[in-house]
């Protein structure tokens, strides 16, 4: 969607500074401000940076380095055939804390395909990403943003949430780094910007995009598989929708202020949706102690033959009806009272098992 042109505030500041420099006889160079760590300012909202069409041997590594340097996490909508050819790069995306979505196998115009061909594009890509990273995607972005009811029904069969975008960076259309930065300035809370893993201009825009977002109180977040909108990296959506998990319901007998140096965890299970033959749920893990928790494990037993198809923000082990979920690489360390959330799609009928948490 094109945004109405607006006079950028950053440009006004630059002009004022230059005028001052000229007035005082100093030669001024206009240099982009260095990226401020996202943690420097409180996050009043979240946006999602997304990169399509990778992994790409000529750009993915540099893109990941730029994101890491800026302290930003992003969502990569990968093509299945490129994941198959570059599995190590898909693993590098995951290890850098990025989220990975499905962007079809071969980037066709999906709405021109038969339902069977759509299924093949989506299922092969789910498998390739699962094989490369151990986790199947929860998000699907159709190439060119082209979708229809048949495609949506195939997405639903794979538990995929369709993600389009609220801002198009136009990097695919020759936009300069400055134009990509300018596009990102129109992101609003919950918004998603379309970019690509394939252009140096896109990589060069990252420090300034993150700095400008930070100046507006916005932080890079993840895309919620429930809503397709940007939320905080752990899946919560502050400040309008704070988690309702503990400490509202602390374990009986636990003192409100535990002795110094203790760490413990609690887990809360929440069903987030169900349909014929399947369901989706989330588990929030909270450090109930007053020192850092390093690693956590959540366990439960299904009452009636349920199985988990795909899980995010954790590492899944299933054995019969027993489920064990350990922390992922990026969410194992929890400060006192801090929470993280993992979620999954299951098959079978929705249930609310009793869950336990232990550390590590
Ligand atoms: Zn694409």
What's the gap in Å between 103 CA and the centre of ligand 1?
Answer: 7
271 shares a domain with 206? no
Mean pLDDT of 292-311: 85
Question: Model confidence over 109-125: pLDDT tens digits?
Answer: 999 999 999 999 999 99
Question: Model confidence over 222-235: pLDDT tens digits?
Answer: 999 999 999 999 75
Final residue belonging to a domain, choices 231, 246, 281: 231
pLDDT at residue 332 greater than cutoff 60: yes
**Amino acid 9: pLDDT:** 36
Question: Model confidence over 25-59: pLDDT tens digits?
Answer: 333 333 334 344 444 568 999 999 999 999 999 99
What's the gap in Å between 144 CA and the centre of ligand 1?
Answer: 6
What's the gap in Å between 143 CA and the centre of ligand 1?
Answer: 5
**Amino acid 15: pLDDT:** 36
**Amino acid 261: pLDDT:** 67
**Amino acid 274: pLDDT:** 67
**Any domain includes 17:** no
344 shares a domain with 209? no
pLDDT at residue 126 greater than cutoff 70: yes
**Any domain includes 350:** yes
278 shares a domain with 148? no
275 shares a domain with 222? no
Report which of residues 107 and 278 the model is more confident about. 107
What's the gap in Å between 43 CA and the centre of ligand 1?
Answer: 29
| Summary mean pLDDT of the chain | 82
What's the gap in Å between 322 CA and the centre of ligand 1?
Answer: 39
**Amino acid 198: pLDDT:** 98
What's the gap in Å between 109 CA and the centre of ligand 1?
Answer: 10
**Any domain includes 294:** yes
Report which of residues 103 and 337 the model is more confident about. 103
Mean pLDDT of 280-293: 77
What's the gap in Å between 79 CA and the centre of ligand 1?
Answer: 8
**Any domain includes 68:** yes
pLDDT at residue 270 greater than cutoff 60: yes
pLDDT at residue 148 greater than cutoff 60: yes
What is the CATH classification number for the domain harbouring 317? 2.60.40.290
Mean pLDDT of 304-319: 80
351 shares a domain with 284? yes
**Amino acid 127: pLDDT:** 98
**Amino acid 32: pLDDT:** 39
What's the gap in Å between 80 CA and the centre of ligand 1?
Answer: 12
What's the gap in Å between 99 CA and the centre of ligand 1?
Answer: 16
Q: pLDDT-based confidence at 345, cuts 50/70/90?
A: low
What's the gap in Å between 158 CA and the centre of ligand 1?
Answer: 20
Q: pLDDT-based confidence at 252, cuts 50/70/90?
A: very low
275 shares a domain with 140? no
What's the gap in Å between 194 CA and the centre of ligand 1?
Answer: 9
Tally of structural domains, the chain:
2
Final residue belonging to a domain, choices 183, 215, 231: 231
136 shares a domain with 218? yes
**Amino acid 266: pLDDT:** 81
Mean pLDDT of 126-153: 98
**Amino acid 33: pLDDT:** 40
Q: pLDDT-based confidence at 14, cuts 50/70/90?
A: very low
Residue-number span of the structural domain to which 324 is assigned:
265-358
pLDDT at residue 348 greater than cutoff 70: yes
**Amino acid 12: pLDDT:** 36
217 shares a domain with 159? yes
What's the gap in Å between 174 CA and the centre of ligand 1?
Answer: 15
Question: Model confidence over 174-227: pLDDT tens digits?
Answer: 999 999 999 999 999 999 999 999 999 999 999 999 999 999 999 999 999 999
Q: pLDDT-based confidence at 276, cuts 50/70/90?
A: low
CA nearest neighbour of 118 among 87, 140, 138, 88 = 140
What's the gap in Å between 333 CA and the centre of ligand 1?
Answer: 34
pLDDT at residue 353 greater than cutoff 80: yes
Final residue belonging to a domain, choices 184, 210, 231: 231
């Amino acid at each position: 969607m094109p945004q109405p042109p607006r006079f950028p505030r950053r440009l006004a500041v630059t002009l004022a500074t230059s005028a001052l420099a000229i007035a005082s006889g100093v030669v001024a160079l206009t240099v982009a401000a260095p990226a401020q760590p996202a943690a420097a300012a409180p996050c009043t909202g979240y946006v999602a940076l997304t990169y399509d069409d990778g992994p790409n041997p000529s750009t993915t590594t540099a893109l990941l380095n730029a994101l890491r340097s800026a302290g930003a996490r992003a969502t990569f909508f990968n093509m299945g055939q490129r994941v198959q050819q570059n599995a190590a790069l898909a693993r590098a995306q995951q290890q850098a804390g990025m989220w990975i979505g499905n962007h079809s196998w071969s980037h066709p115009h999906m709405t021109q395909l038969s339902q069977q061909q759509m299924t093949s594009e989506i299922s092969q890509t789910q498998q390739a990403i699962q094989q490369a990273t151990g986790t199947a995607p929860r998000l699907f972005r159709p190439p060119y943003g082209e979708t229809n009811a048949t495609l949506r029904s195939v997405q639903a069969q794979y538990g995929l949430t369709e993600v389009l975008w609220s801002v198009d960076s136009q990097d695919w259309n020759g936009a300069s780094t400055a134009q990509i930065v300018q596009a990102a300035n129109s992101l609003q809370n919950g918004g998603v910007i379309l970019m690509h893993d394939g252009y140096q201009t896109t990589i060069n825009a990252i420090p300034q995009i993150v700095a400008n977002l930070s100046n507006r109180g916005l932080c890079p977040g993840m895309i919620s598989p429930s809503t397709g909108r940007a939320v905080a990296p752990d899946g919560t959506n502050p400040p309008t929708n704070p988690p309702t998990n503990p400490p509202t319901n602390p374990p009986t007998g636990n003192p409100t202020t535990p002795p110094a140096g203790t760490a413990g965890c609690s887990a809360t299970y929440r069903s987030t949706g169900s349909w014929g033959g399947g369901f989706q749920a989330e588990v929030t893990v909270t450090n109930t102690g007053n020192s850092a928790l390093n690693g956590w494990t959540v366990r439960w037993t299904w009452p009636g033959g349920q199985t988990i198809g795909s899980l995010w923000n954790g590492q899944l082990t299933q054995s019969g009806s027993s489920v064990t979920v350990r922390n992922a690489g990026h969410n194992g360390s929890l400060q006192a009272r801090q929470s993280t959330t993992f979620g999954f799609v299951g098959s079978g009928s929705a249930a609310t098992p009793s869950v336990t948490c232990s550390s590590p």
